[in-house]
Amino acid sequence: MGRVLVLGSINSDLVVRIARLPRPGETVVGGEFAVYGGGKGANQAIAAARAGAAVAMIGCVGEDAYGAERLADLQREGVETSGVRRLAGVASGVALIGVDATGQNLIMVASGANHQATVAMGEALPCAAGDVALLQLELPLPVVAAGLAAARRRGALAILNAAPVDPAAAALLPDVDLLVVNEIEAADLLGAAADEVDAAVLRRLAALGPRQVVVTLGGAGVAVWDGAAAWRLPALPVTPVDTTGAGDAFCGVLAAGLAAGLDLAGAVRRGVVAGGLAVTRPGAQSSLPARAEIEAALGRLESAT
């Protein structure tokens, strides 16, 4: 069994639950406030750890209260944090999140210490053959590029969750084994939206460089190009409460499954279940399911196929 190495962001999520999201220039009052651990990197690291993987986190936080709290969160989940740097005079990353009554969200991020990550950190990614390197786009692109290249050199499986999307990330895709994007991110990488994410769209994404592609479709499940064929899986039937963190649950559990030796289909199934469970509870890290919950819900996905 390999490890999951996550090179990514570590944030604090400041969440307001509100009846509806405001329009530009509008104030909506009456919400409830809470603080959660967040950042796509940390979320995915914790998702992988809860799914049973051995996980190491590489990233940056400030020498402030938020940074100390987020390190403690990771350590409580069993994530190795020796690769997380604490930086003096820099604020830890913060995300401001509004969530409406239907579970839809609006997110603004102050990257802080995350944007102090260096290319050297990516080049030193401590992975080996059999490991899975999991990266996102909340760190500077040169750092992500260095991490992906290091993973390929050392024989690790390189997964890029190209979120939040940056069209310039297309240049990184030849070093990616598995690309994970949602419909909007897929459209931005291709330069045009499609009426449907079909086999042709998946092949166009694969033509950018990655060997395999997964497009998450929210309540419609996922579409997959496995390198030879296109196929789909439905979503886990659930009633959504908060969609924050669902994609991170999918990515982390997908990586954990691949590190454990599952094939792509088996790992995707577990990721779909994890994403479905995550939307049934509030918050990002607080919503990430444990391995036993995922295994118990796999039968529900089978009945939906």
Burial 42-52 (b: 16+ CB within 10 A, else e): bbbbbbbbbbb
Catalytic residue among 73, 188, 248, 263: 248
Q: By the 8 A CB rule, do 69 and 16 touch?
A: no
How far is residue 130's CA from residue 133's CA, in Å, rounded to a whole number? Answer: 10
Contacts of 69 (CB under 8 A, 6+ apart): 12, 37
How far is residue 185's CA from residue 49's CA, in Å, rounded to a whole number? Answer: 26
User: In terms of C-beta density within 10 A (0-12 exposed, 13-18 middle, 19 or more buried), how is residue 114 classed?
Assistant: buried
Assess whether 242 carries a catalytic annotation. Answer: no
The residues annotated with a catalytic role in the active site are 248
